Structure 1
Amino acid sequence: MNTLRFGYLKVLFLILSLVCFSATATSQEHQSEGSSVLSDGKLTKKELAAAMLTAEKDLTSMLKASMSVVEEEVENSGIFGPGAWMVLKDRKLKKVRLDEAAESAPPAAKLRVFRASLRSLARHEKIDASLIVYPGTITKEGKKERVVVVEHEHRLGIAGLKLVPLKLGQGNATFGAPISQEKSFQIFYDQRDKRAE
């Protein structure tokens, strides 16, 4: 009789434990869902506008900084090399610096180093935006024209490429109207090699 009563007590204790645990878990689950900005899975127009404004400010600050450096280099030496900038999580703008070995590398190698560095920082969620500039040429009406190639990406889902015409006359650099093009993500949301997985 004692073993039967002990069996009932074990079952009763188990049922009470499960009921209490599931109520606590359900309560915490609903609390965390409701406290999130995306608790309903949608952005309001106000939240979307704020996100787009943040992205625009980040990309604009990087573009201004990069074009200022390009202008200075072109006016001093007639040429410019690849460069990269990033916006950190605390909204600070920072120029990407290369070590001595990478600094003396050819431009194509520098671009690969910039992309790899920025991709690593993005994967570790250290940055929100990236921008890379490098020299290029386009053919317009049968003539080759110098351009500043600007690749930019933002964690908020923006990626693009701008070709900014560049002219140097009497020691002064002037920039034409940018030509925008679509670009796939290379820094944020990149596709890892499926063979490696």
Structure 2
Amino acid sequence: MPYLGNPLLRALLLIVAIGAPMANAQTAPSGELTEEQEMAIKKELSKYAVLGQQQILYLTKQATDEYTETLTDSEPNMPAAWMLLEDGKTVKRINIDEQAEGAPAQIRILMYRAALKSVARPGKIHASVILYTGKIREGSEDEALVVEFEHRLGISGNKVIPYQVDNGNVSYAEPVTSEKPFQIFHDSKPAGARSEN
């Protein structure tokens, strides 16, 4: 049996179970989907994938614009987190300053993940981002902004953006994006786990 932790797979199965048979009552003799049904499912899923990507871009821009201001001051940069609420438009910053007083950056990131997970799992938000800074390489003075992003529709990744501060202005270089395991909305399949047949 395929792993059902992936929300896109669950959405696909839901569409197959409810939507596709209503759209076309005919199925292949073997019980498999017809080519027309497969195309309808792919088209429907692509709409959600585009919506998820647009919402991640919107949230990331809002958070990065706000976080950029902290890069120019002399204080050490601490992690910060934002979430996109259910309406798909309202961006809200999470404040854990009181609970995390004196905590190092790495602990704050864990606290933000836990806080976001607590509102994401019951369906209160659509997307989340955690921003923090770090060195590009060990021993290097070059810094990068890291954006951990996740969306309930199955999008999860890290964006690493090298930056420089010159005369109080922040300039960003080309970002590098990579996938990351789900931590907020869904549990990732454990490494080495097998699917049942």
Structure-1-length-normalised TM-score: 0.70
Which of 64, 68, 74 aligns to 1:67? It is 64
> For 1:34 and 1:55, how far apart are their aligned partners in 2?
20
Q: Which runs of 5+ in 2 are unaligned?
A: 1-14, 23-36, 191-197
Aligned equivalent of 2:165: 168
Residue 105 of structure 1 aligns with an amino acid whose one-letter code is: A
Give the superposition deviation at 1:113: 0.9
Change (3 A) 1:52 1:169: same
Greater helix content: 1
Q: Percent identity?
A: 36
Task: Give the 3-state SS of the residue equivalent to 1:63 in structure 2.
Answer: helix
| Residue in 2 that maps onto 1:128 | 126
Deviation at 1:44, TM superposition (A): 3.2
Which secondary structure state, in structure 2, belongs to the residue aligned with residue 76 of structure 1?
A: coil
The change in CA–CA distance for 1:37 and 1:145 in structure 2 (over 3 A counts) is farther
Contact conserved, 2:20 with 2:41, CA < 8 A, in 1?
A: no
* 2:75 matches 1:84: no
Q: Give the distance between the partners of 2:163 and 2:96, measured in 1 at CA.
A: 25
Supply the distance in 2 between the matched residues of 1:44 and 1:192 (Cα, whole angstroms): 24
Cα distance between partner residues in 2 of 1:86 and 1:184 = 18
Per-residue CA deviations over 1:71-100 (Å, capped at 9, x if unaligned) read: 111123364220111112221221112151
Q: 1:178 aligns with which of 175, 179, 183?
A: 175
Aligned pair partner of 1:54 in 46, 51, 55: 51
Closer, same or farther: CA 146–99 of 1 in aligned 2, 3 Å: closer
Q: Could you tell me how far apart the structure 2 residues matched to 1:35 and 1:106 are? A: 48
Report the CA distance shift for 1:75/1:157 in structure 2 as closer, same or farther (over 3 A).
Answer: same
The match for 1:9 is none
Cα distance in 1, alignment partners of residues 87 and 48 from structure 2: 15
**Per-residue Cα deviation, 1:8-57 (whole angstroms, up to 9, x for no partner):** xxxxxxxxxxxxxxxxxxxxxxxxx9995466796634422321221122
Residue 111 of structure 1 is matched in structure 2 by 109
What TM-score do the two structures reach when normalised by structure 2? 0.70
Name the Cα RMSD after superposition: 2.9
Name the CA distance, whole Å, in 2 between partners of 1:65 and 1:85: 9
Q: 1:176 to 1:58 in 2, by over 3 A?
A: same
| Cα offsets for 1:134-159 (capped at 9, x unmatched) | 1111229x844200111111111111
Q: Distance in 1 between matches of 2:108 and 2:74?
A: 19
Q: State the aligned residue count.
A: 160
Paired amino acid for 1:139: R
2:138 aligned with 1:151: no
Distance 1:51 1:34, change over 3 A: closer
